[in-house]
Amino acid sequence: MSPEEIKKALYGLSDEEKKAFIIDTLPVLTREVMKDPNFMMQLFPVMLGILKESGMDLQQLVQMASMFGGQQKQE
């Protein structure tokens, strides 16, 4: 399957299916590519754009991250 075919198939998913796909695949897809600092510099503005569109600000993200970090340590 080509990247265009994959994108077309993904865009056809329901919102719930898209959410499940992101949750299931993002950790796996990013594991290897996160080792490349150049990719991280490309990904950062994308993630900031997503954050901005969601209405959440960076301060809220930091607070959420610290909450999740605390939960992981307790488990």
Number of separate domains in the chain:
2
68 and 55 in one domain? yes
Q: Token pair for residue 49? A: 């754009």
Q: Are 21 and 10 in contact (CB under 8 A)?
A: yes
Please state the pTM of the whole predicted model. 0.64
28 and 42 in one domain? no
Q: What is the span of the domain harbouring residue 17?
A: 1-35
Q: Is 57 left (phi over 0), alpha (psi -120 to 50) or beta?
A: beta
Per-residue confidence in pLDDT tens, the chain, 75 aa: 999 999 999 999 999 999 999 999 988 888 888 888 898 889 888 988 888 898 888 788 788 888 887 655 554
44 and 28 in one domain? no
26 and 52 in one domain? no
